[in-house]
Amino acid sequence: MNPFIKIRRDLHQIPEPGFQEHKTQAYLLEYIHKLPQDHIEYTTWKTGILVRVRGKAPTQTIGYRADMDGLPIREETTYDFPSQHQGMMHACGHDLHMSIALGVLTHFASNPVDDHLLFIFQPAEEGPGGAEPMLSSEEFRIWKPNIIFALHIAPELPVGTIATKEGILFANTSELFIDLHGRGGHAAYPHLTNDMVVAASHLVTQLQTIVSRNVDPLDSAVVTIGTIEGGTKQNIIAEHARIEGTIRTLSMEAMQKVKQRIETIVHGHQLSFHCQMNIDYGANYCQVYNDTTLSREFIKWAQEQSNVKLIECREAMTGEDFGYFLKEIPGFMFWLGVETPFGLHHAKLEPQEEAIDVAINTITEYLQWKGTST
C-alpha cells in the first residue's frame, strides 16, 4: 500500500476536536522524528506543529499549511478503517491534507531546495479557529514565511483536477447563536407564559428574509439555521430555546449588514414576545483572498503541467480560517479533486485516495520550481 494512503487511514481513525488533537499531534511527531534530520527542525505550538526544511541558499521562506482537526459527526462510511472516536469524523478531508503534507515533507527532508520551506500543521480550523492565534504566536513569528499556500479537497471535482482563481475564493463566515429566555409553564395556561418555542419559530422565519430583502441582489450572502432546540416535554411551555446557525458573505459590507439586521430583528422579537434574547457570533473567519500575482503565477505554472488539469473556478461560500494567513502573508489556496458523491461535512464522505499522490506530486514539483533560485 502507498505509505501516505496508510497514513491517511491511520489519521482517519483518530479525529479530534480543535485544540484537542493530542493523538494526531503525537502521530505526526513520531513520523517526523523518523525522517532524516540533517535539514529539518521542528517545534510545536499548542497541538499544532511547525517543521522547517532549511534551504541551501535561502532568499525567502515558502509556507505550506495543512489543518488537523475533525468534526463532531457520527461516521456513516463503508470504510474498514472508520473513526475510533465516537461521534467524531474527518468529514472535511483534513486526514488527506495531513498525509499530503507529510508526503511533500518527506521528499524535501532529503532533497532541500534553495529556499526555506515551512510546513504548518494547524489545529482547530473547524473551530474555534487556530490560524489567527497561530499566526501571532512567537513560534510562528520566528519562522514566518514570506509566501504561503494550501489546498482543500473538492468532492465534486474529478481526481487529477485542481481548481483556483485570483482574488476571493472562500467567503467571510460567522457562527450565529441566539438564546431566548421567557417564562415557562403548564400547556393548559399559555396566557401565563412567554413561549420560547413560538418565539424561536417566528425568529427563524424572520431571519430567512434578510438575504432576500436586505442584501444587494448583486452581492452574495447566506443565513442558515442548522439547529433549533427548546422545551423539555410536550405539555410544558418552553422557558428557553436556542437556535444555531451560520452567516456567509462575499464582502465584509454584506456581513456587517446581515449582523445589523439580525440585531434589529432580535430587538423587535424581544418586544413582541416579552422575552430576553442574547446573540453570540462565535467564531468569525475572514475571506480567503488569493494574492493576484502568486495565484496567477501558480495557474500559469499548473497549466503547463502534464500530470494535473487546472480549472479556473468561481468563488464559493465555504469558510476557511486560512484567510487569516492570507491577510498578512501573500499566498493562495486551491481545490483538489477527490471525486465523491457526498459533500464536505457529510457523514458518508469517502474521498478517492488516488488524489493523495496527485497532490503530493503537484506540490512537490511546484515547490521544486518555486523554491529554486534562478
Nearest CA among 225, 284, 296, 220 for reference residue 251: 220
Report the alpha-carbon distance of residue 83 to residue 81 in Å, rounded: 7
Q: How many CA atoms lie within 13 A of 209 on its CB side?
A: 8
Residue 151 identity (one-letter amino acid): L
Nearest CA among 116, 114, 110 for reference residue 148: 116
Q: Which residue has the cell 497561530?
A: 134
Nearest CA among 225, 263, 230, 266 for reference residue 245: 225
Q: Would residue 130 be called left, alpha or beta, if left means φ above 0 and alpha means ψ between -120 and 50 degrees?
A: alpha
How far, CA to CA in Å, does 302 sit from each of 61, 171, 308, 315, 354? 21, 24, 7, 19, 19
How far, CA to CA in Å, does 238 sit from each of 179, 206, 233, 242, 270? 12, 20, 8, 11, 16
Q: Reading across the β-sheet that carries 309-312, which strands appear in turn?
A: 40-45, 48-53, 116-122, 61-67, 147-154, 331-337, 161-164, 309-312
For 9-45, give the DSSP string: HHHHT----TT--HHHHHHHHHHHHHS--SSEEEEEE
- Within 8 A by CB and 6+ apart from 371, the residues are 55, 62, 113, 114, 115, 117
Helix, strand, coil in percent for the chain, rounding step 5? 35, 25, 40
Helix (H) or strand (E) holding 261: helix 252-273
Residues labelled as active-site residues:
67, 126
Other Cβ atoms closer than 10 A to 26? 12
Omega cis (within 30) before 145: no
Other Cβ atoms closer than 10 A to 234? 6
